[in-house]
């Protein structure tokens, strides 16, 4: 058994326990058997760098990231509701390009998801090799790549870098 197997097993068994919540012995035994088999078969396809799970500071930054994300999400919703309900439809859409320094797949996925759920922006495509994200912006404030990066990406990038990279 390698570390990546064990980490995947923990994730799977937690998910199984939540799904079958008032847990009893039968559920537990079946869960352990199936999760053990699955994590044995596909162990290091998902967890490629097991050492990052040891750093405590990553979890603390993740706890800080959750309320920030929820707050941005609520702001995004109020923004969209305002734009939709306004009689003149105050939108100014366009697709802009921004740059990111993140490298790992997990970090890029979380960055793209966060961008989609935050005010006025939605990620359309990603160029992982060069680190470009193409973003549909409902109210384009600046077409320049650096200023758009500052407005859209910067607030998440620092935190996500500490969590996932």
Partner 1 sequence: MNEIIGYIFIGIGLAFDFFGCLGLIRLPDVYNRLQASTKCVTLGTCSILFGLFLFKGFTASGIKALLCILFIILTAPVSAHALSRGAHSSGVKLWDKSVCDMYAEDKKYKA
Q: Footprint of partner 1 on this chain (CB under 8 A)?
A: 15, 18-19, 21-22, 73-74, 76-77, 80-81, 83-85, 89, 91-97, 109, 112-113, 116-117, 120, 122-125, 132, 134, 136, 138, 140, 143
- Shortest gap between Cβ of 120 and partner 1 (angstroms)? 7
Cβ 94 to partner 1 shortest distance, Å? 4
Chain-centroid distance, C-alpha 100: 14
Encoded tokens for 137? 């912006």
Least CB distance to partner 1 at residue 39 (A): 20
Tokens matching residue 2: 């390698």
Shortest distance, CB of residue 1 to partner 1, whole angstroms? 27
Smallest gap from Cβ 2 to partner 1, in A, equals 26
SS3 105: helix
- Helix, coil or strand: residue 73: helix
Please, which residue, 34 or 95, has the CB nearer to partner 1? 95
Indicate the residue among 34 and 81 with the shorter CB distance to partner 1.
Answer: 81
Q: Of the candidates 141, 123, 121, which has an alpha carbon nearest to the alpha carbon of residue 80?
A: 121
Partnered with residue 123 across adjacent β-strands are 135
Helix (H) or strand (E) holding 98: strand 94-99
**Cβ-Cβ contacts under 8 Å for 67 (sequence gap 6 or more):** none
CA distance 160 to 88: 37
Cβ distance to partner 1 smaller for residue 12 or 112: 112
Residue closer to partner 1, measured from CB, 125 or 150: 125
Nearer to partner 1, 4 or 114 (CB): 114
């Amino acid at each position: 058994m390698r570390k990546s197997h064990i980490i995947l097993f923990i994730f799977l068994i937690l998910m199984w326990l939540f799904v079958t919540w008032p847990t009893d012995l039968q559920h537990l035994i079946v869960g352990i058997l199936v999760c053990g088999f699955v994590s044995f078969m596909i162990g290091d396809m998902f967890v490629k760098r097991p050492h990052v799970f040891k750093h405590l500071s990553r979890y603390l930054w993740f706890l800080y990231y959750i309320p920030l994300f929820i707050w941005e999400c609520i702001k995004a919703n109020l923004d969209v509701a305002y734009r939709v309900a306004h009689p003149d439809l105050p939108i100014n859409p366009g697709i802009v390009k921004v740059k990111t320094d993140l490298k790992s797949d997990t970090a890029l996925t979380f960055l793209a998801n966060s961008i989609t759920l935050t005010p006025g922006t939605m990620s359309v495509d990603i160029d992982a090799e060069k680190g470009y994200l193409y973003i549909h912006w409902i109210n384009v404030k600046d077409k320049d790549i650096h200023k758009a990066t500052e407005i859209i990406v910067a607030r998440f990038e620092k935190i996500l870098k500490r969590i996932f990279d």
